[in-house]
């Protein structure tokens, strides 16, 4: 009797489950968000100076992965362009996630800087 199958690629396959796939509508709306995040980095040359963040955005598997890469993008933007600029860009990007995420992951406006 075989205990393990030769093509076990993930913990899901160990449990006998398939990897969850995103809903087609969500996947369709994910690409414009990804493109705007990448264009934001490219426009100010951050794709060259911070390629690891650029690649995380480029290879994000779903809308939740993109949502979590916003913090990396915020850090990079703030370090290169300033906190106010970064907050402004992230607020615009965050608004693109409306209707794509569960309520618990929704964007909450940060307090205004003095």
Residues 69-114 have pLDDT tens digits of: 999 999 999 999 999 999 999 999 988 988 887 777 776 667 777 6
| pLDDT score of 6 | 54
| pLDDT score of 14 | 58
Q: Please give the Cα distance from 70 to 57 (Å, whole number).
A: 9
- 46 in a domain, yes or no? yes
| pLDDT score of 9 | 58
pLDDT tens by residue, 22-75: 556 556 778 999 999 999 999 999 999 999 999 999 999 989 999 999 999 999
| pLDDT score of 102 | 78
| Cβ-based neighbour number of residue 35 at 10 Å | 11
- 112 in a domain, yes or no? no
- 27 in a domain, yes or no? yes
- 17 in a domain, yes or no? no
- 12 in a domain, yes or no? no
CA distances from 12 to 9, 15, 61, 68, 81 (A): 8, 5, 16, 22, 41
Query: Where in the sequence is the domain holding 28, given as residue range(s)?
Result: 23-101
- 9 in a domain, yes or no? no
| Cβ-based neighbour number of residue 41 at 10 Å | 23
Assign 3-class secondary structure to 47-73: HHHCHHHHHHHHCCCCHHHHHHHHHHH
Looking at the structure of the chain, the number of domains it has is 1
- 97 in a domain, yes or no? yes
Global pTM reads 0.69
- 14 in a domain, yes or no? no
């Amino acid at each position: 009797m075989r205990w393990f199958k030769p093509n076990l690629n993930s913990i899901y396959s160990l449990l006998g489950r398939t990897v969850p796939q995103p809903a087609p509508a969500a996947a369709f709306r994910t690409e414009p968000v990804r493109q705007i995040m990448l264009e934001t980095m490219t426009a100010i040359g951050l794709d060259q100076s911070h390629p690891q963040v650029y690649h995380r955005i480029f290879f994000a598997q779903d809308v939740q992965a993109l949502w979590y890469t916003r913090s990396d993008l915020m850090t990079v933007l703030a370090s290169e362009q300033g906190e106010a600029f970064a907050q402004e860009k992230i607020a615009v990007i965050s608004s693109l996630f409306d209707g794509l995420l569960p309520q618990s992951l929704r964007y909450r406006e940060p307090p205004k800087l003095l």
